[in-house]
């Protein structure tokens, strides 16, 4: 019995691809949060978005089949996997054990029928019971595996699909997932995994397959700036697969109400420095080294010159003209390319922004809450395509907190900022983890992340929440610009402080999984942004008791509990020392 029955979802059969329905399922049990969100929104997308309003782009959910949770239960039990899965074994040992196990025989024939009918690249995605809930979204915690699915031999394509499903199952028990669950009220043994098998939106270019645009849009923007309001939302766009955005790479942020406005770069030089220069694609060429437990086994990262050769920049890039020191929409001239999506957002070559705004309205109405959506847009075919990939509700606190100007500048302030994420108050923290270094490099930044992970594991096991402070950007995919922690490495924190570094400009990628976990778990996030009023009493901090000191990171204990207050309406926040 499937947990949700809709008109457009049915048990998979060989006629699914001709049925016109986007969603089907295999097995019994539950479909998990991610799939449930897509099923919930499917009927509303069809009924409330008039195709005549957006004649230049086709909108819908890419074809997908969901393997329900009873299959996961059978797989775990018949292969006796719970012992190693729930142990402290490293991720690679768990993944290898799952690869050696056998999927239930009853679904093998169904999966072979499925794979014989489709030859385009596939994304095998997690959809656990706990995933995409309002307050504990598990964003980016579980695995996704893509496969080119272009091999001539159906047996090879079938085996690659099986390997990918087992990888997603194994990711249920990786340390990132276990550490995340420890920070919630749940237990690892209570989690169950459904799996989504979905076609990848995009086109083949040489030996690469990718969409021109991947995007994440939020209907509520915690970092609104200028004249924009929080309820006007935020969108992040990038070239290629969405891995760039959700892992916190460089993307183009804009407010849907003001699509022609440029983010607050200090100069064109900054814009050139922080534009996207690489993109992810599915590898359709030479078979890589066999590595079934590697999430990126069939992915490749390319430079913009590849996209220019593929003719996929014409809708999304502008060109910097050195002589005039200006940027021009499109690809005229041979100057550096800037991925600002101006042909679409400014020249409106495609009505993408209006479509995004409409879809956000439909999703908010469906879930009765602010939402985040993920999507991909293919512009290379005759019919342009908007693929709706995911929707999840986001938590927005309505508690009223007032912070006066006197409090912001008071003597008892440890930290204050006018650019803070979250809303509410907290008086329960005496422990601080402080990453006291400013000279970023790949080697040192990764070591800092490792030291923080060690301290975080200790704090979580002792049920001890803490304040996290560090220089540069948290959760970045670029170790030369900040501290590249993943969420499981800081899962015990209740508040985060980002201290500026002069040589870097930071525009937070609000579409990142890291950022979504911060907001949904109601973690306060202080950004001490250059050019705004902020305080940081580092001298007082360093006079406090040091519990443990590593090469770059200190565990500090204050004598009295800190008071943390955040006014989400005005984006002000203070941390008061007592």
Whether residues 188 and 219 share a domain: the answer is no
Whether residues 284 and 431 share a domain: the answer is no
Whether residues 302 and 427 share a domain: the answer is no
pLDDT value of residue 510: 52
Q: Which residues of 532-570 are buried (b: 16+ CB within 10 A; e: fewer)?
A: eebebbeeebeebeeeeeeebbbbbebeeebbbbbbbee
- Whether 253 is in a domain gets the answer yes
Tens digits of per-residue pLDDT, 275-308? 899 999 999 998 888 898 899 999 999 999 999 9
Token output for 324: 């005039």
Token output for 168: 């997603």
Burial (0-12, 13-18, 19+ Cβ within 10 Å), 501: middle
Whether residues 191 and 266 share a domain: the answer is no
Whether residues 472 and 568 share a domain: the answer is yes
pLDDT band at 537 (very low <50, low <70, confident <90, very high): very high
Which of 73-82, 292-301, 387-396, 398-407 ranks highest by mean pLDDT? 73-82
pLDDT value of residue 93: 96
Q: Which residues of 153-170 are buried (b: 16+ CB within 10 A; e: fewer)?
A: eeeebbebbbbbbbbbbb
Out of 199, 227, 257, a domain closes at 199
Whether residues 272 and 414 share a domain: the answer is no
pLDDT value of residue 139: 62
pLDDT band at 511 (very low <50, low <70, confident <90, very high): very low
Out of 345, 363, 380, a domain closes at 345
- Whether 73 is in a domain gets the answer yes
Kindly tell me if the per-residue pLDDT of 54 is higher than 60: yes
Mean pLDDT for the stretch of residues 94-120: 95
Instruction: Give the pTM.
Output: 0.82
Burial (0-12, 13-18, 19+ Cβ within 10 Å), 40: middle
**What are the φ/ψ torsions at residue 280 (nearest 5 degrees)?**
-100, 145
Percent of the chain with pLDDT over 90: 52
Whether residues 412 and 537 share a domain: the answer is yes
Whether residues 15 and 156 share a domain: the answer is yes
Tens digits of per-residue pLDDT, 437-488? 777 777 888 899 999 999 998 998 888 999 999 988 888 777 777 888 888 8
Whether residues 221 and 153 share a domain: the answer is no
Do the beta carbons of residue 61 and residue 45 sit within 8 Å? yes
Tens digits of per-residue pLDDT, 238-266? 999 999 888 777 889 899 999 998 876 66
pLDDT value of residue 51: 87
Query: Of 59-68, 119-128, 149-158, 404-413, which gets the smallest average pLDDT?
Result: 404-413
Residue among 189, 150, 191, 142 nearest 167 (CA): 142
Query: Of 201-210, 430-439, 502-511, 535-544, which gets the smallest average pLDDT?
Result: 502-511
pLDDT value of residue 2: 47
Q: Which residues pair with 372 in a beta bridge?
A: 218, 392
pLDDT band at 489 (very low <50, low <70, confident <90, very high): confident
How many domains does the chain fold into? Answer: 3
Whether residues 180 and 214 share a domain: the answer is no
- Whether 277 is in a domain gets the answer yes
Specify the pairing of strand 208-210 against strand 384-393.
unpaired
What is the C-alpha separation between 62 and 495, in angstroms, rounded? 38
pLDDT value of residue 352: 95
Whether residues 413 and 512 share a domain: the answer is yes
pLDDT value of residue 6: 45
Out of 325, 345, 365, a domain closes at 345
CATH number, domain of 135, equals 3.30.1490.20
What is the C-alpha separation between 343 and 93, in angstroms, rounded? 48
- Whether 167 is in a domain gets the answer yes
Whether residues 217 and 172 share a domain: the answer is no
- Whether 381 is in a domain gets the answer no
- Whether 386 is in a domain gets the answer no
Tens digits of per-residue pLDDT, 23-44? 999 999 999 988 988 988 888 8
- Whether 356 is in a domain gets the answer no
Arithmetic mean of pLDDT over the chain: 87
What is the C-alpha separation between 359 and 351, in angstroms, rounded? 13
| Domain, as residue range, for 212 | 208-345
| Cα three-residue angle 58-168-132, rounded to 5 degrees | 60
- Whether 382 is in a domain gets the answer no
Question: Distance of CA 160 to CAs 356, 496, 545, Å?
Answer: 34, 40, 54
């Amino acid at each position: 019995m499937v947990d949700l029955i809709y008109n457009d979802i049915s048990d998979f059969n060989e006629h699914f691809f001709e049925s016109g329905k986007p969603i089907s399922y295999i097995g019994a049990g539950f479909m998990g949060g991610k799939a449930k969100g897509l099923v919930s929104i499917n009927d509303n997308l069809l009924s409330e978005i008039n195709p005549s309003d957006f004649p230049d782009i086709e909108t819908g959910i890419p074809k997908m089949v969901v393997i329900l949770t009873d299959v996961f239960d059978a797989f775990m039990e018949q292969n006796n996997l719970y012992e190693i899965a729930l142990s402290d074994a490293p991720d690679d040992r768990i993944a290898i054990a799952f690869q050696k196990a056998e999927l239930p025989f009853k679904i093998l024939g169904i999966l072979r029928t499925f794979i014989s009918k489709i030859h385009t690249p596939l994304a095998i995605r997690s959809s656990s019971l706990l995933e995409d809930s309002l307050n504990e979204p598990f964003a980016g915690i579980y695995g996704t595996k893509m496969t080119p699915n272009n091999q001539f031999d159906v047996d090879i394509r079938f085996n690659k699909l099986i390997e990918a499903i087992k990888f997603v199952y194994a990711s249920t028990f990786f340390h990132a997932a276990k550490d995340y669950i420890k920070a919630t009220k749940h237990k690892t043994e209570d989690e169950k995994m459904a799996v989504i098998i979905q076609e990848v939106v995009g086109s083949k270019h040489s030996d690469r397959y990718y969409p021109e645009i991947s995007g994440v849009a939020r209907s509520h923007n915690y970092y609104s700036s200028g004249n924009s309001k929080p309820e006007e939302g935020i969108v992040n766009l990038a070239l290629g697969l969405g891995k760039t955005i959700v892992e916190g790479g460089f993307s183009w942020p804009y407010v849907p109400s003001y699509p022609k406005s440029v983010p607050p770069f200090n100069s064109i030089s900054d814009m050139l420095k922080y534009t996207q220069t690489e993109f992810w694609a599915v590898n359709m060429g030479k078979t890589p080294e066999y590595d079934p437990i590697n999430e990126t086994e069939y992915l490749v990262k390319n430079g913009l010159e590849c996209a220019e050769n593929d003719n996929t920049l014409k809708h999304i890039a502008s060109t910097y003209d050195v002589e005039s020191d200006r940027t021009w929409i499109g690809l005229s001239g041979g100057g550096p390319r800037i991925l600002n999506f101006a042909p679409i957002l400014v020249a409106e070559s495609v009505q993408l922004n209006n479509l995004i705004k409409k879809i956000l309205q439909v999703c908010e109405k469906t879930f009765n809450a602010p939402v985040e959506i993920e999507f991909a847009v293919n512009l290379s075919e005759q019919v342009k395509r908007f693929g709706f990939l995911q929707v999840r509700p986001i938590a927005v606190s309505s508690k009223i907190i007032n912070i006066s100007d006197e409090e912001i500048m008071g003597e008892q302030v440890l930290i204050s900022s006018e650019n803070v994420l979250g809303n509410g108050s907290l008086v329960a923290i005496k422990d601080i983890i402080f990453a006291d270094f400013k000279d970023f490099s790949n080697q040192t930044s990764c070591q800092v992340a490792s030291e923080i992970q060690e301290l975080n594991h200790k704090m979580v096991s002792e049920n001890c929440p803490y304040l996290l402070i560090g220089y540069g950007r948290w959760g970045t995919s670029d170790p030369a610009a900040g501290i590249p922690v993943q969420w499981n490495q800081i899962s015990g924190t209740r508040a985060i402080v980002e201290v500026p570094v002069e040589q870097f400009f930071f525009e937070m990628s609000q579409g990142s999984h890291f950022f979504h976990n911060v907001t949904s778990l109601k973690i306060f996030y202080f950004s001490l942004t250059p050019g705004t009023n902020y305080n940081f009493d580092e001298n007082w901090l360093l006079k406090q008791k040091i519990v443990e000191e590593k090469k770059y990171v200190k565990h500090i204990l204050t004598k009295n509990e800190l008071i943390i207050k955040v006014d989400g309406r005005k984006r002000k926040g203070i941390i008061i020392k007592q």
